[in-house]
Amino acid sequence: MNKRERLEAAIAGQSVDRVPVALWRHFPGDDQDAASLAAATIAFQQRWDFDFVKVTPASSFQIKDWGVQDIWLGNTEGTREYNHRPIQRADDWRALKILEARSGALGTQLKCLKLVVEALPDVPVIQTVFSPLAQMKNLAGGRLLNDLRQNAADFKAALEIITQSTLAFVREIAATGAAGIFYAVQHATSNLLSEAEFREFGRTHDLRILEATRNCWLNVMHIHGDNIYFDAVADYPLQVWNWHDRETGPSLKDGLAKITGAACGGIARDMVMLRGQPAAVREQVTEALAQTKGRRYIVGTGCVTLIPTPEVNIRTAIECARLPQG
């Protein structure tokens, strides 16, 4: 099977020659320039030959043109720290304007994506897209939840602007030849919102964005955090779900019972992939294969692979995934 055939079979629950595998990471420093991020992403794929590639820009890329500033301080996840957020008062939300997807930071990221797609013609490539709520968190920091609850009119006006900007961006992604998007949801958790709040401010706008990607064949959703509202996103119109299955429920087996596509995960990115020995990686992949019977499953971590992850652990995960299925 080629990579697309393997992934489509896995998503449909059909037999595969081997279980697909995909890991992705941040490239701090490189993520400040389209050509540099493309080159780093391409080199990582050429090194490991995953079944799909996730292009992972800095989390600020969708909101850069609204005035955020961030800096790389050595986080092992590869994320940058925000040193200026433009939302300092409730009425600052009203200053946001719809962004033009083909120019500014969004246009730069489309150029990066196109470079990756063109360099890897036989590999499905997906583009990271943050949900509107996730973007608002990075714009406002700690005041986000207070504004959501106490300044609803300003908050909802900004939420609509951000949703419109995100829609404009995702509509341009297909033109690059990408297979789909990696949709990052960070607020589907009782640690931050009630389920009713998530459905009002998160789910409603997520579904509008995912509707714009229906013609893509490989849309992956990441549900970040623990104590997640899995049932509130289990019917989203996409093909693959990724969550911290080793740190929070549901398990891979229980998650697959709730969704129609495939699950990607099975390896704890910190305690096992980063800190563990190869035997621990092998044990978790083997157990994940037993949970899923090797169907509707993609070997991966529950979130982005940490930068210092030992190569031997990456190699072990790939080798375990690529054992023939029969």
Q: For the whole model, what pTM was predicted?
A: 0.98
- Given a cut of 90, whether residue 326 has pLDDT beyond it is no
Q: How many CB atoms lie within 10 A of CB 185?
A: 25
Q: Measure CA 253 to chain center.
A: 21
- 166-201 pLDDT, tens per residue? 999 999 999 999 999 999 999 999 999 999 999 999
Q: Looking at residue 134, what is its pLDDT?
A: 98
**What is the average pLDDT score of the chain?**
97
Three-class SS of residue 43?
helix
pLDDT in tens, 114-127: 999 999 999 999 99
Residue 325: the pLDDT is: 61
Q: What is the pLDDT of residue 50?
A: 98
CB 82 within 8 A of CB 70: yes
Give residue 292's identity as a one-letter amino acid code.
Answer: T
pLDDT, tens digit, for every residue of 277-292? Answer: 999 999 999 999 999 9
Q: What is the pLDDT of residues 193-236, one digit of tens each?
A: 999 999 999 999 999 999 999 999 999 999 999 999 999 999 99
Which top CATH class is 3-321?
A: alpha beta
Number of other residues whose CB lies within 10 A of the CB of residue 320? 22
- 324 pLDDT band, cuts 50/70/90, is confident
Q: What is the mean pLDDT of residues 310-323?
A: 96
Cα distances (angstroms) measured from residue 35 to each of 50, 104, 116, 198 = 21, 15, 9, 36
Question: Chain centroid to CA 15: how far?
Answer: 26
DSSP state of 64: G
* Phi, psi of 180, deg, nearest 5: 165, -160
What is the DSSP annotation of 267-286? E-IIIIIITS-HHHHHHHHH
DSSP one-letter code for 92:
G
pLDDT recorded at residue 323? 86
64 close to 137: Cβ distance less than 8 angstroms: no
Tell me the sheet residues that pair with 259: none
Q: What is the residue extent of each domain of the chain?
A: 3-321
Q: Sheet with 220-223: list strands edge to edge.
A: 53-55, 125-130, 180-185, 220-223, 240-243, 262-267, 297-301
